[in-house]
A and B are shown apart, each in its own frame.
Chain A
Amino acid sequence: MMDTNSPDTATATLLSVQNLTMRFGGLTAIDDLSLDVPAGSITGIIGPNGAGKTTLFNCLTGFYKPTTGSLRLDHPTHGEMRLEALPSHRVARDAQVVRTFQNIRLFPKMTVLENLIVAQHNVLQRASRFSIAGLFSLPGYRQAEKEAIERAATWLQRLRLEHLADHAAGELPYGIQRRIEIARALCVDPVLLCLDEPAAGLNPRESAELNALLLYLCRELGIAILLIEHDMSVVMNVSDHIGVISYGRKIAEGTPEQVKNDPQVIKAYLGEDDEDAENSGNAVTEGAAA
């Protein structure tokens, strides 16, 4: 089910963003950005509000067509794919790059289980053979539906949501909706999972659970994760690699330690002078949390 990348391939590049520029009229949201996302690891993207992080995700997942630049994905089975040329549904279906949203986008009136089954639409639709096999409930379709339910149940169990399976997704608490959105994205069988502020609105205990989940997905299942996050307790603890964006440009890149102490980063977050580098480690944490 999952494409498990063995640890020794962890250094290979899964996604390579090259000279990406996105303009909206006169506004340049992303300016000549280049970034590599290694396979089998967690890459954090941080930056002040309005830096272009979500725009990057929108370009990556086909919701925006980049003005210039390329997005190359080294897909484990399909080989090299150019994401900028694919419409959004094919990015998720064929390239298996799946995202979540900053403002949760579940199907609120449908149950949690239905949300997870809708995410497996393409597999099921194929099995239902233009709905004909489905209409007559032929064995092939019944089997596919059973597997889809089992798969959804597995993810629900892993994310400790199975007791909520039959509740309407929109009626559940915020933190749980965030988990459901991740579970739903996982049902699409992602090669690269793009999470847009998954810790927003979570309390410290939920954030800690999120950390554990992200590490499990990456280390045990080999899913590469691209993570936009403001909560430094999450980003700094789980990321193998962090890219910092400000005003659409990449201003720093490196391990959490390197980024934490980078004067450029501190300046972008706090607008302070470089002399104050002494308490920089804390400054980033506090500045971002504020």
Chain B
Amino acid sequence: MSTVVFARHAMTPAERLRDAGWVAFVGLILGIPLVGLTTVDVGGRLAVGTRFGLLAAAVATVFAGRLLLHWALDQARNRKLARARASTATAADRAHGAQKAVMLLGWVALGASVALPIFYSDNRYVVDTATTVLIYVMLGWGLNVVVGLAGLLDLGYVAFYAVGAYSYALLSTQLGWSFWEALPVSGALAAGFGILLGYPILRLRGDYLAIVTLGFGEIIRVILVNWTEFSGGPNGISSIPRPSFFGLEFARSAPEGGQTFAGFFGLDFSPMHRLIFLYYLILVLALLTHAFVSRLRKLPVGRAWEALREDEIACRAMGMNTTNIKLSAFAIGAMLGGFAGVFFAARQGFISPESFTFTESAIILAIVVLGGMGSQMGVVLAATLLVLIPEFGRNFAEYRMLLFGAAMVLIMVWKPGGLLSHREPTVRLNPLGKPAAAKEAA
């Protein structure tokens, strides 16, 4: 691989050509099975046909594209260098600028998400997709506690999502609990599972930790598939009650002794009411999650999580009980995942183990990593991207997941620390905005 480099130094034209040649060669090898060979229908039988013309075009495109990419990167680098030379901004000013930009982005995102159903009140697809984005944002914020702040690589996060979803599904279908009654209980159950997982892996780190969490995620899924009497097995649980708006059902006709949402407000019944309600519900849940996690980050427990990520041994030398810190991170991350699971079950009305596969864990983890570990706004950006890219990709049919993967690779090449890697300190001795006064004092 040494011939294909993401060079930081300026490359000579010969190096450029060689590099592009190598990339085209890789493209050729990948392209032979993907593009060069195809199956054709010959009188009802399948035969292997060739498309070498197309393959040659693809390889040529790769070659030209690589050259173009390098040219574009050069341009970008030169501009960046020029800017760096021109600016006299100090590190503190830059931090201030970054923080302001993130704040602005946050407010814009909040405004857009509040206004979205108003503009798309009759577009089921948009509201549905936005709801999915918000579920992933919430899951990302939950996992951010474990991975981004505490630095504990968790590959089985979807297990807690499943615990939340199944708790609500079973509590509501078996015991008739309402959404609001089941929400805290399911969250607590998920937190309990978080601690359950936390105990055996206290001594593990890095790769080993990841493997055990991966196993835990699979155990939960396999139990759900096989314990048919309890969870309905692969058939899942259906007709899960939907949440009501303060007791008002979203239905065409009122249940006995009840009232419908549309009837109460004198509106014509529309199935969109429920969708928009669900959208705002997850928006509120996600915002609460954000407020909760942001606040925790500035509390001793949050700082302890970050310190644990930075250096566990130093934590112990400072008298911190790392056992409690790890367990609290697992419990709180799991609880937030559980809440998201409850919402998921209530929104879908049907759940089965298929919704809780490893792929889900991987996507949630990708959201946290792409967003920038520990960055709350980064999670929003990454979740939006990772949900929307496959949606836009629907036009590309079978190339959808290829596009998805390519986008992830590009983001990591372009921003190795994640989309938003700026870390805002939890506390400052000299608050930003008045650095001059601080310097005089010092």
Contact = CB atoms under 8 A, between A and B. Distances in A.
Q: Do A and B come from one complex?
A: yes
Interface of A: 61-63, 88-94, 98-101, 105-111, 113-114, 117-119, 121-122, 124-125, 128, 131, 134-135, 145, 149, 152-153, 156, 162-163, 165-168, 184-185, 188
Contact of A128 (B299, B426, B427): B299
B429 interface: yes
B299 A134 contact: yes
Contact of A166 (B306, B316, B429): B429
Contact of B316 (A89, A114, A118): A89
Contacts of A184: 318
A89 B320 contact: yes
Given A131-B299, A135-B295, A162-B442, A121 B318 contact: yes
B296 A114 contact: no
Interface string B307-338: 10011011111111110000000000000000
B368 to A, nearest CB: 16
A152 B318 CA distance: 14
B429 A122 contact: no
Contacts of B299: 128, 131, 134-135
B425 A89 contact: no
A185 B316 CA distance: 12
Nearest to A190: B319
Nearest to B291: A135
B164 to A, nearest CB: 21
A117 B427 contact: yes
A156 B427 CA distance: 15
B53 interface: no
Contact of B429 (A106, A124, A162): A162
3 nearest A-B pairs in the assembled complex, by CB-CB distance = A92-B319, A93-B319, A163-B442
A134 B294 CA distance: 12
Given A89-B321, A119-B318, A125 B425 contact: no
A89 B322 contact: yes
Contacts of A62: 316
Q: Which applies to chain B's interface (DSSP): helix, strand, loop or mixed?
A: helix
B320 A110 contact: no
A132 to B, nearest CB: 10
A88 B300 contact: no
Contact of A106 (B295, B314, B442): B314
Contacts of B92: 166
B310 A107 contact: yes
A110 B306 contact: yes
A114 B429 contact: no
B300 A110 contact: no
Contact of B317 (A99, A110, A131, A167): A99
5 contacts: A111-B425, A113-B427, A121-B319, A131-B296, A163-B442
Contacts of B317: 61, 88, 92, 98-101, 105, 185
Interface string B88-105: 000110000000000000
Nearest to B314: A105
A128 B301 contact: yes
Which of A106, A119, A121 counts the most chain B CB atoms within 10 A?
A121
Contacts of B304: 118, 121, 125
A158 to B, nearest CB: 14
Contacts of A156: 429
B149 to A, nearest CB: 11
A88 to B, nearest CB: 4
A110 B208 CA distance: 26
A243 B26 CA distance: 64
A101 B315 CA distance: 12
A285 B423 CA distance: 45
Given A121-B300, A128-B301, A135-B296, A92 B316 contact: yes
Contacts of A94: 319
A118 B92 CA distance: 22
A121 B306 CA distance: 12
A70 to B, nearest CB: 21
Nearest to A163: B442
B303 interface: yes
B293 to A, nearest CB: 11
Contacts of A188: 318-319
B126 to A, nearest CB: 35
Contacts of A100: 317
Given A101-B317, A131-B296, A108 B425 contact: no
A24 to B, nearest CB: 18
Given A121-B318, A166-B430, A63 B296 contact: no
B303 A166 contact: no
A188 B303 CA distance: 15
B9 interface: no
B313 A166 contact: no
A134 B300 CA distance: 8
Contacts of A113: 425, 427-429
B85 interface: no
Interface string B41-68: 0000000000000000000000000000
